[in-house]
Amino acid sequence: MVTARVLPTTDFPASGAGARGARGSLSKLWALAESEILSAAPEPDREACRNCLARGREVLRDGEVIGCDGETPSRLLTHLWSAIECDKARQGLDKVDRLEAGLGEILNADYAKSIEARAPDILERSVGPAFEAAFDFQAMSSVLASASPEATLPESRRRRIGQALSVLRSQRFFVLATNGGK
User: How many independent structural domains does the chain possess?
Assistant: 2
Residue 75 lies in a domain: no
Which residues constitute the domain of residue 65? Answer: 13-69
For residues 64 and 97, membership in a common domain is answered with no
Q: Per residue in 64-108, pLDDT tens?
A: 887 788 888 888 899 899 999 999 999 999 999 999 999 999 999
| pLDDT at residue 18 greater than cutoff 80 | no
For residues 58 and 116, membership in a common domain is answered with no
For residues 118 and 50, membership in a common domain is answered with no
For residues 63 and 104, membership in a common domain is answered with no
What mean pLDDT do residues 45-59 have? 87
* Other Cβ atoms closer than 10 A to 26: 21
For residues 124 and 65, membership in a common domain is answered with no
For residues 58 and 123, membership in a common domain is answered with no
Q: Per residue in 148-164, pLDDT tens?
A: 666 788 999 999 999 99
For residues 44 and 95, membership in a common domain is answered with no
Residue 97 lies in a domain: yes
Residue 179 lies in a domain: no
Residue 37 lies in a domain: yes
Chain centroid to Cα 165, Å, comes to 22
For residues 92 and 157, membership in a common domain is answered with yes
For residues 102 and 166, membership in a common domain is answered with yes
Residue 145 lies in a domain: yes
What mean pLDDT do residues 17-40 have? 79
Average model confidence (pLDDT) for the chain? 81
Residue 156 lies in a domain: yes
For residues 146 and 98, membership in a common domain is answered with yes
Chain centroid to Cα 150, Å, comes to 40
Cα-based distances in Å from 4 to 61, 96, 124, 139, 180: 10, 32, 60, 68, 16
Residue 180 lies in a domain: no
Kindly state the helix (H) or strand (E) to which residue 90 belongs, with its residue range.
helix 72-112
Residue 33 lies in a domain: yes
For residues 35 and 96, membership in a common domain is answered with no
For residues 101 and 64, membership in a common domain is answered with no
Confidence of residue 181 (pLDDT cuts 50, 70, 90): very low
What is the pTM (predicted TM-score) of this model? 0.56
What mean pLDDT do residues 152-181 have? 84
Q: Per residue in 96-146, pLDDT tens?
A: 999 999 999 999 989 888 888 888 888 888 887 887 788 888 888 888 877
